[in-house]
């Protein structure tokens, strides 16, 4: 039987549980560092008449070993005009398969899982790469990922006192600030992106920008920059970093994002990357070593991250009896003449 899990089902079994996701993701990064995974390059589906960077489907397939021992895929679509239609920009479906029989164990709504793991990875990065005395956060892009990430940072780091936000749509930024206030996070809306990120101890870009705009002057000494989105930093911004940390080097260069473009231009190679994040989690490479380091964290977003969180939620749902079991496959069939 295959377990069907809706978004409501996932919320009922912990899809808003930061600690559940953190435990799963820390274990996943250790497995990544040990090499017990398989992750081919993501498959991108784009149509020429829809050139916007956020108009696409991405298929992320993977095998994750260790205590998870799972295979699966996330199929995530994005349409940048959806918010103006009253629809979510991104939506996703995750399929989990038994690693031995390859039969589908679960089919679940994937947008919530994707957002949760994205935010929690930023929190894990902040634990190891931000200054211990960090007090301020700046974000460009007043969307759901930014909201979830700020909520997590506020929850995990009570010493953070200042949160600033910029968005090209000022009314959207104001609505963002109102929403965050309900979560107990006071956010100042800034009129320029530089005002949001240039003085921040932890800065975050979560936009659908198609052209780079962040100049190196916005990357202050001692700060951590979380490059959640696609094209916001200029090459010069990245080059100002004392340390570049990625989740997976090979995945990063098989994309059209800033590090991949720098690699193709001969401006960045593996030796210039300080570490993959799993090496830092596992303790084989250091995280932040000095207070004045500029650290650029570039999480591509890995299928094994989705599998780790999705598997934890699937197991909890199964134990709690949440979701609908469906006889998707049935018995072996024969071709009848």
Q: Are 206 and 149 in contact (CB under 8 A)?
A: yes
- CB neighbours of residue 236 within 10 Å: 13
Euclidean distance between the first and final Cα of the chain, in Å? 29
The pairing of strands 187-189 and 104-109 is unpaired
Considering the candidates 46, 74, 182, 243, report the single residue annotated as catalytic: 74
Asked if 74 is an active-site residue, the reply is: yes
Alpha-carbon separation of residue 128 from 114, 125, 262, 283 (angstroms)? 22, 5, 25, 11
* CA separation for the pair 171, 241 (Å, rounded): 33
Task: Count CA atoms closer than 13 A to 49's CA, side-chain side.
Answer: 0
Q: Are 82 and 88 in contact (CB under 8 A)?
A: yes
Alpha-carbon separation of residue 197 from 53, 164, 216, 220, 297 (angstroms)? 23, 8, 11, 9, 15
Which residues belong to the active site?
A: 74
């Amino acid at each position: 039987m295959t377990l069907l899990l809706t978004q409501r089902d996932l919320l009922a079994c912990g899809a808003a549980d930061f600690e559940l996701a953190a435990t799963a993701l820390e274990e996943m990064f250790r497995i990544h560092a040990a090499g017990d995974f398989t992750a081919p390059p993501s498959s991108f589906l784009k149509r020429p008449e829809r050139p916007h960077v956020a108009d696409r489907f991405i298929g992320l397939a993977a095998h994750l070993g260790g205590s998870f021992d799972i295979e699966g895929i996330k199929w995530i679509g994005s349409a940048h005009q959806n918010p103006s239609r009253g629809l979510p920009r991104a939506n996703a479906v995750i399929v989990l398969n038994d690693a031995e029989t390859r039969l589908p164990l679960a089919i679940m709504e994937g947008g919530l899982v994707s957002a949760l793991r994205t935010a929690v990875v930023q929190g894990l990065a902040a634990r190891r790469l931000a200054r211990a005395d960090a007090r301020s956060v700046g974000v460009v892009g007043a969307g759901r990922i930014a909201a979830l990430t700020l909520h997590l940072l506020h929850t995990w780091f009570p010493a953070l006192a200042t949160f600033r936000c910029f968005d090209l749509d000022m009314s959207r930024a104001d609505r963002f600030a109102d929403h965050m206030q309900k979560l107990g996070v006071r956010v100042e809306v800034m009129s320029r992106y530089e005002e949001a990120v240039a003085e921040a101890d932890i800065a975050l870009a979560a936009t659908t920008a198609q052209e780079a705009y962040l100049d190196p002057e916005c990357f202050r000494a001692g700060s951590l920059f979380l490059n959640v989105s696609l094209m916001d930093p200029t090459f010069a911004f990245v080059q100002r970093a004392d340390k570049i940390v990625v989740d997976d080097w090979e995945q990063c260069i098989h994309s059209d994002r800033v590090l991949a473009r720098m690699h193709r231009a001969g401006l960045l190679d593996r030796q210039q990357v300080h570490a993959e994040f799993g090496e830092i989690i596992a303790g084989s490479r250091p995280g932040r070593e000095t207070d004045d380091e500029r650290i650029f964290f570039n999480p591509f977003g890995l299928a094994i991250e989705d599998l780790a969180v999705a598997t934890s939620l699937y197991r909890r749902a199964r134990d709690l009896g949440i979701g609908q079991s469906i006889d998707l496959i049935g018995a072996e069939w024969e071709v009848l003449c």
